[in-house]
Amino acid sequence: MAKKISDRHKQVLKVVQKHNDEYGYAPSYRDICEETEITSTSMVNYYLKQLEEVGYIQREENISRTLSVTEKAKRKYHQLLGITEDFINDMVRSLSVPMVGEIVASEPVPVPAGDIGLQDYENSVDLAASLIPRNADNENLFALEVKGDSMIDAMVNDGDIVIMKPSQEVKNGEMVAVRINEDETTLKYFFKEDDRVRLQPANPTMDPIFVEKSTPIEIQGKVVLVLRQI
């Protein structure tokens, strides 16, 4: 395939970048179909394979929601993708995020020493600033090490590091760190229902946690990036 891509390829590239910016994870094939008017997921896969061949996207084989636009594509198509010159400069700028403790991805457990409330700024995680979504506040980010396997289908495994954005406001479907009853904490997908909150694991062997309206609950932050530990 020639390195000059078609308008359709550019549409797909733009959707991938936009979705990662807004939600912190890649679009599904159906999301791409809806936003580009491509008629089938097989055609989406066809375009993605060609974009991968020329080095404009990268993904983990056979794992969904791992699409990302490469630095090569961002530099070449930064105007198309809505990327500013400042963002291009961020590609070579490093960011130091304080590691403040652990977060349990299992049943809620009592907050251990070294968890979110006991911040230890002696440790930090260094990463490229361009990895962080543009709508995140880089000044207040913090990192947590994941303990447990309730979010494995979201590609968050035991020992991985999640980069968190402090926030008490969250949309349904976002992955958040939640404190329950003032002394228990967990990492889950958040869903606000009529008279309760559902904390949904991403593990088919685990049941959701339902928190009644009368139970104290505090959103401590939402995930903006997952750093896989191999």
Please list the active-site residues. Answer: 150, 188
Calpha distance 73→173 (Å, rounded): 29
Q: Are 172 and 130 a contacting pair, CB within 8 Å?
A: no
Q: How far apart are CA 215 and CA 20, in angstroms?
A: 33
Place of tokens 């979110």: 116
- Residue pair 201/150 in contact by the 8 Å Cβ criterion: yes
Nearest to 44 by CA among 60, 29, 26: 29
Q: Which two tokens stand for residue 123?
A: 């440790």
Which amino acid, 154?
A
Instruction: Read off the tokens for 114.
Output: 């070294």
CA distances from 14 to 20, 69, 76, 82 (A): 10, 9, 12, 9
Residue 76 in tokens? 């070449």
